[in-house]
Amino acid sequence: MQRRSLLRASLAGLLGGVGVREASAATEQPASHRVAYHLADIDRVVFVLGNLQNHVDGVGGAGKADIRLVVHGPALRAFHALSADDHTISMMQKLVQAGVSFEACANTMKAQGVKLDDLTPGFVAAEKGGVVRLTELQQQGYAYLRP
């Protein structure tokens, strides 16, 4: 008799625990987007920054997604602090405030003769190179976008 009661109590506890776990999982926020954007073409800079802003807005604002922009090649020239246009700087600052990460290809920086301090504020260096960084991000589960 005690054995049957003990079995029922154990089974009830197990099923109750599963129900609580499922209920709490239903109220948790879904995993945020993890996206790596690729920018290499200078004529697409404003377009891509606009896509990034649309993405941030579409997921509900700052902090709702993990978004990385990896910039290499000619596109990096648009972010040279001394020559960047005000609209590009303004768009970038808004995105940085929203949590978008900007990564500059170290190989491109070397080829263009610029250091991190020569770029608009907010960049970090992709030390192994832009294409290597994009590959690393994809291997970490980031979706790859090249608008």
List, for residues 93-117, the tens digit of each pLDDT value. 999 999 999 999 999 999 999 999 9
Do 69 and 93 fall into the same domain? yes
Considering the domain architecture, whether residues 43 and 98 belong to the same structural domain is answered as yes
Answer yes or no: is pLDDT of 6 > 60. no
* pLDDT score of 61: 87
Answer yes or no: do 22 and 50 share one domain: no
**For residue 24, what pLDDT is reported?**
42
Instruction: Evaluate whether 81 touches 119 at the Cβ level (below 8 Å).
Output: yes
Within its chain, how far is the Cα of 39 from the centroid?
Answer: 14
How many structural domains compose the chain? 2
Confidence band for 33, pLDDT divided at 50, 70 and 90: confident
What is residue 28's predicted lDDT score, i.e. its pLDDT?
42
Query: In angstroms, rounded to a whole number, what is the distance separating the alpha carbons of residues 48 and 147?
Result: 6
Question: Partners of 141 in the beta sheet?
Answer: none
Q: Are residue 77 and residue 41 in the same domain, yes or no?
A: yes
How far apart are the C-alpha atoms of 17 and 136, rounded to whole Å?
A: 38
Does 51 score more than 70 pLDDT?
yes
Q: What is the CATH number of the domain that holds 116?
A: 3.40.1260.10
pLDDT of residue 20: 41
Q: What is residue 72's three-state secondary structure?
A: coil
Find the domain containing 14 and state its range.
Answer: 1-30
